[in-house]
C-alpha cells in the first residue's frame, strides 16, 4: 500500500469515527452552550451570572439525570463581554447543534439576531438585548422574558411617580438623570426616554460613560452635581456600577433617589460603604438561598466541588439572576420535549418550547422555586411577557424589598415597541416574514 493510500484510508476512518462520535453525542445529550465572561472588565457581573446558570443546569444533571432523562451537555465559551469574541464563540459552538443561545451581551445579541432564523438556533436574551425583539411575529427566534429594558425604564418612572405621590403627571417638570454604559446596552432605552420625556413632561439629562472610563467617572458626577437632577436612573454593568455608586456617595447624591436597572450585585454596592444605604434597583426574583432548588444546588453541586462559585455567593442577586436564566433554558427544553414528543430536542424544538413557555405558580413549586419569582408565560406574538418587577433597597448589608410589584407602562411602551420592531425589519430588509407555525396563540 502506498503512503498516499494509507493516508486516505486513515483519513476516511478518522472522518467516520468523528461522524459516529458526533452521532452518539447528538443522541445522548442536549447541547447548551453558555456564552459567559469570567475574565476582563465585566467579570464582576459575569461571574455570578455564569455560576448561577451553570449550577442550575448541573444540578438537574446530578439530581434528575438531565431533563426528561437526557443529560444536558453544558459548555462555556468565554466572550469577555466583547462582541467580536462573542461572535467567535457563536461560530465555534454552532456546529455542535446548540438548542439555545445565551449571548449575555446586548451588543452580541444585536449581532446574532439576523443569524438566528438562518441557523435555526433560538436566542434567549433574558431581560436584555433588543427590546423590540419581544414582538414574536417579527422576531420568531428571539426571546427576552420577563421584561424588556423599555419596560424596566418605564417601571422606574412609575416608581418615581409613586414616590412623588402617584400618577405620571407627577413627573412633569422633574429633571431625571440617566447615567449609562455608552454601548448597545446603555443606549437601548434612549428612543423611549426621548418619547416619554415629551409625553410626561420631564427633562432628561444624559450622562454616558465610555467603557474605557468606567472607573473614571468623576466628571460625569460633577455634571450631576451641577445639573441637580431630581432622580438618577442607571443602566450600568461591570466596573461601571461600583464606581458610579461610590461617586454618587462622594457628591452626597441622595441614595433614595438613585435607581438602577436590574444589573447591580451586592459587591457593587458594598464597595461604596455605608453611604450606599438606600440605593435602589429593580428586580423580579428573590435574593437568598432558602429555596429547595437552591438547597439542591448547595448539596449536589457546590458541596461536591462541581461549581465554580464560592458557597457564600449562592443566593446572591446576580447568582440568582443566572439561576433564573438556567431555569428558563431548562423549562424551554421540558416544554420542547412535551410539544414534540421527542426527548432529544434541537434548536427548532426549543424555539417552540420557548414560544409556549408557561411557568406558573404550580410549576415553580414543582421545580423547587416557589415564591422565587412571579410566573412567566410567553406566546407566539409576545416573546417577553412584560411582567412586573419590584424595587429593592440596599440596607447596608443586603437587598430588601422596597415596593410592590410594578407593571410596565404598556400603554406607552407597547406601541413604541411595535413601531421599533417594524422599523428594524424595514432597516434590515428583506427581513424574513414569519413562516414558523404557532403552537400557542394565547
Partner 1 sequence: MNPLYQIFVDPFVQMAGAPDLFAQTIWEGFVGGMLYALIALGYVLIFKASGVFNFAQGIMMVFAALTLVGLHEMGVHAYIALLLTLGVMYLLAVGVERAVLRPLVNQPDIILFMATFGLTYLLIGAGELVFGGNPKTMIAKELGLPSGGIDFNILGGLVSLQRIDIAAAVIASILVAGLAAFFQYTRVGRALRAVADDHQAALSVGISLNEIWVVVWFAAGVVALATGVMWGARSNVSFALQIVALKALPVLILGGFTSVPGAIVGGLVVGIGEKLGEFYWGPLLGGGIESWLAYVIALAFLLFRPHGLFGEKIIERI
Closer to partner 1 by CB, 321 or 383: give it: 321
Closer Cβ to partner 1, 129 or 242, answer by number: 242
Q: How many residues bind partner 1 (CB under 8 A)?
A: 40
Tell which one of 31, 34, 35, 41 touches partner 1 (CB under 8 A). Answer: 41
Q: Is 204 in the site for partner 1 (CB under 8 A)?
A: no
Site track 43-62 with partner 1 (rule: CB under 8 A), x = hit: xx-xx---------------
Q: Hey, is 235 helix, strand or coil?
A: strand
Alpha helical stretches, state H, 29-78 = 43-64
Scanning 5-13, 42-50, 95-103, 338-346 for contacts with partner 1 by CB under 8 A, the matching segment is: 42-50
* Cα–Cα distance measured from residue 156 to residue 95, given in angstroms and rounded to the nearest whole number: 41
Where in 240-279 is the site for partner 1 (CB under 8 A)?
Answer: 242-243, 246, 250-252, 267, 270-271, 273
| Helix (H/G/I), strand (E/B), else coil: 41 | coil
Residue 110 in contact with partner 1, rule: CB under 8 A: no
Peptide bond into 146 cis (omega under 30): yes
> Given candidates 42, 104, 141, 185, which one binds partner 1 under the rule CB under 8 A?
42
Nearer of residues 184 and 238 to partner 1, judged by Cβ:
238
239 binds partner 1 (CB under 8 A): yes
Helix, strand, coil shares of the chain, percent, nearest 5, are 50, 15, 35
Residue 228 near residue 257 (C-beta atoms within 8 A): no
Smallest separation (angstroms) from partner 1 to the CB of 93: 21
Nearer to partner 1, 267 or 436 (CB): 267
Q: Does position 210 bind partner 1 by CB under 8 A?
A: yes
CB 155, min distance to partner 1, A: 25
Can you spell out the DSSP letters for 251-319?
A: TT--GGGEEE-S---HHHHHTTGGGGTT-EEEESB--SS-SHHHHHHIIIIITTT--SS-GGGTTSHHH
Kindly tell me which of 238 and 353 has the beta carbon lying closer to partner 1. 238
For strands 390-394 and 280-283, give the pairing: antiparallel
- What is the rounded distance in angstroms from the CA atom of residue 275 to the CA atom of residue 244? 12
The residue from 214, 261, 345, 357 that contacts partner 1 (CB under 8 A) is: 214
Residues 6+ apart with CB under 8 A from 417: 131, 132, 134, 135, 148, 150
Under rule CB under 8 A, residue 312 binds partner 1 = no
What letter would DSSP give residue 179?
Answer: E
Closest CA to 32 of 74, 64, 66, 71: 74
Using DSSP's 3-state secondary structure scheme, residue 359 falls into strand
CA distance 167 to 68: 48
Stretch touching partner 1 by CB under 8 A, among 97-105, 213-221, 396-404, 418-426 = 213-221
Among 206, 339, 416, 438, binds partner 1 (CB under 8 A): 206
Binding mask 160-199 for partner 1 (x = CB under 8 A): ----------------------x-----------------
Pick the stretch among 100-108, 136-144, 146-154, 216-224 that binds partner 1 (CB under 8 A).
Answer: 216-224
Q: Please tell me whether residue 427 adopts helix, strand or coil conformation.
A: helix
Q: Are 179 and 220 in contact (CB under 8 A)?
A: yes
Give the nearest distance from C-beta 270 to partner 1 in angstroms: 7
Stretch that binds partner 1, among 211-219, 293-301, 326-334, 339-347 (CB under 8 A): 211-219
Tell me how far the alpha carbon of residue 174 is from its chain's centroid: 30
* Residue of 215, 358, 366, 410 interacting with partner 1 (CB under 8 A): 215
Residue 398 binds to partner 1 (criterion: CB under 8 A): no
How far, in Å, CA of 203 to CA of 228, rounded?
12
Please identify which residue in 24, 27, 216, 428 interacts with partner 1, judged by CB under 8 A. 216
Which CB sits closer to partner 1, 218 or 423? Answer: 218
Q: 190 or 339, CB closer to partner 1?
A: 190
Give the CA dihedral 312, 315, 316, 321, nearest 10 degrees. 140
Residue span binding partner 1 (CB under 8 A) among the ranges 192-200, 210-218, 342-350, 355-363? 210-218
Taking the least distance from each CB to partner 1, the nearer of 218 and 366 is: 218
The reply to whether 219 sits near partner 1 by the rule CB under 8 A is yes
State the DSSP string of 183-228: THHHHTTHHHHHHHHHHH--EEEEEEE-GGGTT--HHHHHHHHHH-
Query: SS3 for 163?
Result: helix
Residues near partner 1, by CB under 8 A: 38-44, 46-47, 182, 206-216, 218-220, 222-223, 225-226, 238-239, 242-243, 246, 250-252, 267, 270-271, 273
Amino acid at each position: 500500500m502506498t503512503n498516499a493510500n494509507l493516508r486516505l484510508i486513515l483519513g476516511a476512518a478518522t472522518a467516520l469515527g468523528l461522524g459516529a462520535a458526533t452521532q452518539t453525542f447528538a443522541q445522548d445529550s442536549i447541547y447548551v452552550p453558555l456564552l459567559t465572561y469570567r475574565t476582563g472588565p465585566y467579570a464582576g457581573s459575569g461571574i455570578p451570572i455564569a455560576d448561577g446558570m451553570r449550577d442550575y443546569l448541573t444540578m438537574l444533571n446530578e439530581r434528575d439525570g438531565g431533563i426528561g432523562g437526557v443529560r444536558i451537555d453544558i459548555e462555556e465559551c468565554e466572550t469577555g463581554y466583547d462582541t467580536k469574541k462573542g461572535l467567535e464563540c457563536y461560530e465555534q459552538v454552532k456546529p455542535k447543534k446548540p438548542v439555545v443561545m445565551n449571548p449575555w451581551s446586548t451588543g452580541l445579541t444585536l449581532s446574532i439576531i439576523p443569524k438566528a432564523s438562518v441557523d435555526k438556533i433560538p436566542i434567549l436574551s433574558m431581560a436584555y438585548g433588543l427590546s423590540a425583539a419581544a414582538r414574536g411575529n417579527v422576531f420568531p427566534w428571539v426571546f427576552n422574558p420577563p421584561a424588556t429594558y423599555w419596560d424596566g425604564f418605564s417601571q422606574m418612572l412609575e416608581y418615581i411617580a409613586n414616590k412623588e405621590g402617584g400618577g405620571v403627571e407627577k413627573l412633569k417638570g422633574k429633571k431625571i438623570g440617566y447615567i449609562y454604559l455608552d454601548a448597545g446596552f446603555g443606549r437601548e432605552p434612549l428612543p423611549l426616554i426621548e418619547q416619554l420625556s415629551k409625553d410626561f413632561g420631564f427633562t432628561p439629562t444624559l450622562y454616558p460613560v465610555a467603557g474605557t472610563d468606567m472607573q473614571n467617572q468623576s466628571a460625569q458626577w460633577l455634571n450631576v452635581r451641577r445639573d441637580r437632577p431630581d432622580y438618577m436612573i442607571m443602566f450600568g454593568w461591570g466596573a461601571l456600577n461600583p464606581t458610579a455608586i461610590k461617586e454618587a456617595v462622594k457628591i452626597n447624591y441622595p441614595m433614595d433617589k438613585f435607581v438602577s436597572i436590574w444589573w447591580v450585585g451586592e459587591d457593587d454596592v458594598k464597595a461604596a460603604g455605608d453611604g450606599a444605604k438606600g440605593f435602589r434597583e429593580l428586580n423580579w426574583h428573590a435574593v437568598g438561598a432558602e429555596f429547595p432548588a437552591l438547597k439542591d444546588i448547595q448539596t449536589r453541586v457546590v458541596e461536591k466541588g462541581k461549581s465554580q462559585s464560592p458557597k457564600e455567593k449562592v443566593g446572591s442577586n446576580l447568582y440568582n439572576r443566572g439561576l433564573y436564566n438556567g431555569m428558563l433554558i431548562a423549562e424551554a427544553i421540558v416544554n420542547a420535549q412535551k410539544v414534540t414528543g421527542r426527548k432529544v430536542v434541537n434548536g427548532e424544538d426549543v424555539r417552540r418550547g420557548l414560544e409556549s413557555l408557561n411557568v406558573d405558580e404550580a410549576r415553580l413549586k414543582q421545580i423547587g422555586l416557589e415564591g422565587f419569582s412571579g410566573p412567566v408565560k410567553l406566546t407566539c406574538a409576545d416573546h417577553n411577557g412584560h411582567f412586573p418587577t419590584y424595587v429593592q433597597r440596599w440596607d447596608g448589608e443586603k437587598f430588601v424589598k422596597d415596593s410592590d410589584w410594578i407593571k410596565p407602562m404598556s400603554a406607552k411602551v407597547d406601541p413604541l415597541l411595535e413601531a421599533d420592531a417594524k422599523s428594524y425589519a424595514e432597516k434590515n430588509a428583506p427581513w424574513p416574514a414569519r413562516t414558523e407555525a404557532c403552537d400557542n396563540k394565547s
